[in-house]
């Protein structure tokens, strides 16, 4: 097993845990408000991509286990959605890291006036780091799934000849 494949397996497991948490959390709150439903759908697409990645890994490790006919297309579509969502998370995390502290203090003061919660600057910075890490995990996992899908397709074509 190559390093790249081991990394793919680790990133898929991480992506599965992270997206599963947010998907099911979004489903729990989907009945309360519409943005939670949209969030659950987007995280769900990333979750499905991770599940399809597990099936692809299993098929690569055990060639006698084949993928369903729709799985390669699903990996491509869900991987594309995952990449778009990861880019959105990356830019949100980047913005949270790049906002000057003075501006954050003003925003926090305004939030305190409106009683919108008790946020701290450290929490917002930490959330930015978390968003950046999640976006990197999802991006690398999607790119590795595309790479290994091409490898799997070549292996499949070689077996059929």
pLDDT per residue over 54-98, tens digit each? 999 999 888 888 888 888 999 999 999 999 999 999 999 999 899
pTM of the predicted structure, to 2 decimals: 0.85
Q: What value does the mean pLDDT take over residues 10-28?
A: 88
Better-predicted residue by pLDDT, 36 or 8: 8
pLDDT at res. 132: 95
DSSP assigned state of 66: P
pLDDT digits (tens, 9 = 90+) for 50-66: 999 999 999 988 888 88
Average pLDDT for residues 95-113, to the nearest whole number? 83
Distance of CA 149 to the CA centre of its chain: 18
Average pLDDT, the chain: 87
Instruction: Kindly give, in sequence order, each residue whose CB lies less than 8 Å from that of residue 72, ignoring residues fewer than 6 positions away.
Output: 149, 152, 153
CB 26 within 8 A of CB 36: yes
Residue of 12, 158, 156 whose CA lies nearest to 72? 156
Nearest to 133 by CA among 100, 94, 84, 104: 94
Taking only the tens place, the pLDDT of each residue in 124-141 is 889 999 999 999 999 999
Two structure tokens written together for 119: 């946020």
Distance separating alpha carbons of residues 79 and 67, to the nearest angstrom: 16
């Amino acid at each position: 097993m190559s390093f790249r494949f081991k990394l793919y397996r680790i990133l898929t497991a991480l992506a599965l845990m992270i997206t599963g948490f947010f998907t099911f959390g979004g489903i729990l709150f989907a009945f309360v408000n519409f943005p939670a439903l949209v969030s659950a759908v987007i995280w769900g697409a990333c979750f499905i991509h991770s599940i399809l990645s597990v099936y692809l890994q299993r098929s690569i490790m055990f060639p006698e286990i084949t993928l369903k006919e729709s799985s390669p297309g699903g990996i491509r579509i869900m991987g594309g959605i995952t990449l778009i969502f990861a880019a959105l998370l990356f830019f949100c995390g980047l913005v949270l890291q790049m906002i000057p502290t003075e501006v954050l203090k003003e925003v926090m003061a305004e939030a305190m006036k409106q009683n919108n919660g008790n946020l701290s600057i450290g929490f917002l910075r930490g959330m930015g780091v978390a968003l950046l890490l999640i976006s990197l995990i999802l991006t690398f996992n999607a790119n590795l799934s595309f790479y290994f899908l091409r490898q799997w397709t070549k292996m499949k074509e070689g077996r059929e000849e």
